[in-house]
Amino acid sequence: MYEVGAVEKVGQSLKGKEFASVYEFLDSLRKVARRYYIPVMRKKTTELLKSLIIKNKPKEMLEIGTSLGVSGMTALASSAGRLTTIDIDEEVTNQAKDFFARHNLLSRCEFILGDAVSVVSMMDNNRYDFIILDGPKGQYIELYKMLAPMLNKDGIMFVDDINYARFIDKKGLDKRKHRTIINNMKEFLDTINNDINIKATVYDIEDGVLVAEKI
Ligand SMILES: C[S@@+](CC[C@H](N)C(=O)[O-])C[C@H]1O[C@@H](n2cnc3c(N)ncnc32)[C@H](O)[C@@H]1O
């Protein structure tokens, strides 16, 4: 999925280096991942995630889109809770496991390798206090329909990259090629805004964040 060797190079770049805290490690990881075009959660978005986790003290957390673990490690480092994280890409998942282990976060985390829609469709009895949605943008609407009932009362769904259409514009990419994802994202935002069980707040930072609270 990424340039051949990119994930390994990220791992090599950070190998043997000492960091004062997990957050300092994540700052470096973010920079190195960017160098190799591996998308991970951006700085301000991660800070917002951290502040919400500290405030809400979730016990059970679910993440769609592990990648190299920036958001997942932030969630675990800022709470005493447990995280289940799903990604379709084996290479990033294995590298993330190594990073979690380095910071003693592995024992509170379960990694699931697979397509998020298939995996989530088989977990309908699970309940979560906090859900991070940072995976396949075109499937947010499908995932939301399955995930919303799995959110406990007062639980939070933290959704990254809601300004997908703006991102495509900014990168000068052909909007027609991304039309289905853009339309799905629009349907997702309309659905969430019309859900009477949800209080939604949009943060116009970086790629756009939506925080949905179950009321
Ligand atoms: C933006 S990255 C996640 C960044 C991550 N949250 C972080 O902060 O490090 C999106 C991830 O979603 C994963 N992904 C894409 N399609 C997927 C699918 N259908 N099911 C599960 N994961 C998927 C990609 O492999 C990628 O690692």
pLDDT in tens, 69-96: 999 999 999 999 999 999 999 999 999 9
Q: Is the pLDDT of residue 175 over 80?
A: no
Q: What pLDDT is attached to residue 168?
A: 75
CA distance linking residue 89 with residue 96, whole number of Å? 11
What are the residues whose beta carbons fall under 8 Å from the beta carbon of 194, sequence distance 6 or more? none
Q: Measuring CA to CA, which residue among 123, 153, 118 is closest to residue 135?
A: 118
Instruction: Give the pLDDT of residue 170.
Output: 75
Q: Whose CA is nearest to atom 22 of ligand 1?
A: 87
Q: Which residue's CA is minimally distant from atom 19 of ligand 1?
A: 115
Residue 55 to residue 65: CA distance in whole angstroms: 23
Atom 25 of ligand 1: nearest residue by CA position: 89
Q: Is the CB of 135 under 6 A from ligand 1?
A: yes
Instruction: Kindly give the number of the ligand 1 atom that is closest to the alpha carbon of 87.
Output: 22
User: Which pLDDT score is estimated for 178?
Assistant: 84
Ligand 1 neighbour 210 (Cβ under 6 A): no
**Probe ligand 1: pick from 84, 94, 134, 209, max atoms within 8 Å of CB?**
134
- Return the structure tokens found at 6: 């990119």
Pocket flag, ligand 1, residue 40 (CB < 6 Å): yes
Instruction: Tell whether the model's pLDDT for residue 107 goes beyond 80.
Output: yes
Q: Which domains does the chain have, with CATH numbers?
A: 41-214 (3.40.50.150)
Q: Rounded to an integer, what distance in angstroms lies between the CA atom of residue 25 and that of residue 29?
A: 6
Q: Is the shortest distance between the CB of 115 and ligand 1 below 6 Å?
A: yes
169: pLDDT strictly greater than 80: no
pLDDT tens profile 111-142: 999 999 999 999 978 999 999 999 999 999 99
Element (H or E) spanning 158, and its range? strand 151-160
If you average pLDDT over residues 55-63, what whole number do you get?
Answer: 98
pTM here? Answer: 0.96
pLDDT at residue 167 is higher than 80: no
Extract the tokens encoding 205. 């930072």
Ligand 1 contact, 136 CB (< 6 A):
yes
Pocket residue to mutate for ligand 1, from 37, 67, 163, most atoms within 8 A of Cβ: 67
Q: What is the pLDDT of residue 87?
A: 98
Q: Rounded to the nearest whole angstrom, what is the distance from the C-alpha of residue 104 to the centroid of ligand 1? A: 22
- pLDDT at residue 124, as a whole number: 72
pLDDT greater than 80 at residue 105: yes
Q: Give the Cα separation of 109 and 59 in Å (integer).
A: 12
Q: What is the pLDDT of residue 174?
A: 78
Q: Is the CB of 7 under 6 A from ligand 1?
A: no
Element (H, E) at 105: none
For 6-33, the pLDDT digits (tens) are 999 999 999 999 999 999 999 999 999 9
Which amino acid, 192? Answer: I
Residue 87 alpha carbon to ligand 1 centre in Å:
6
pLDDT band at residue 147 using 50, 70 and 90 as cut-offs: very high
Nearest ligand 1 atom, CA 116: 20
